[in-house]
Amino acid sequence: MNHSGAALLESSSRESQQSRVLNDDGAGGDHRWLFRRYALFFSIALVGCVVDLLTKYWVFRWRGMPRPHNEWWIIENYVGIETALNPGALFGMGRGFGWVFATLSIGAAIGVVAWMTWGKAARDLLLTIALGCVLGGIFGNLYDRLGLWNPPGQPDIWRNEVRDWILFRWGEYTWPNFNIADSLLVCGAAMLFWHSFRAESPTAKS
């Protein structure tokens, strides 16, 4: 084999190795990376939703339905637990329009899954984690908005409010009660906001 043939063979070998690396990172034909990203996405969403629903169930069974002076303090007058019901959206806005927010939640969930699949968000690890958090938060609160939970001591009463239980207070100000699903939504939104600043602008070639 002459010198040019050896150089060509070596170049071909390097290109083959680079191709395998690209495949593992999601730019080629090996889809194992894609399965791992989908697994991570759905695992975050599932675990987040389950933790949210379990904590709501335990706290409401323990502390009961909302009533005055039902706080249980972890850090006296700062961080505690108190059951509350939210018939609207964030901070109780949109009271009486629970069915609208339930419909929007279903649409948002479909949009998140579409972004992960057809939108190819799975190629980005930060997007995968962020969207997993958002989906888990959506399903956690959607469960409540659809009235799929049973109020403790009132098994025959249908309630479609979102259950909240995390309490923050600073002096005379009390932050609106929230839950794990709300925390997932806020964290996911924060990561998406951060991603929008750190993402590089696409080049003409890409």
The Cα–Cα gap between 36 and 54 comes to 26
Compute the half-sphere exposure of residue 71: CA atoms within 13 Å on the CB side of its CA. Answer: 14
Among 24, 52, 124, 164, which one carries the catalytic annotation?
A: 164
In the residue annotation, 182 being an active-site residue is answered as: yes
Residues 105, 136: Cα–Cα separation, whole Å: 11
Q: Which helix (H) or strand (E) holds 82?
A: strand 79-86
Cα gap 185→136, rounded to integer Å: 8
Supply 100's token pair. 């609208």
Query: Annotated catalytic, 124?
Result: no
CA dist 97 and 89 (Å) reads: 9
Report the DSSP beta bridge partners of residue 73: 80
Task: Check residue 28 and report its DSSP letter.
Answer: S
Distinct helix (H) and strand (E) counts, the chain:
5, 4
Give the DSSP letter of residue 174.
E
Two structure tokens written together for 83: 């059951």
Q: Which residues form the catalytic set?
A: 164, 182
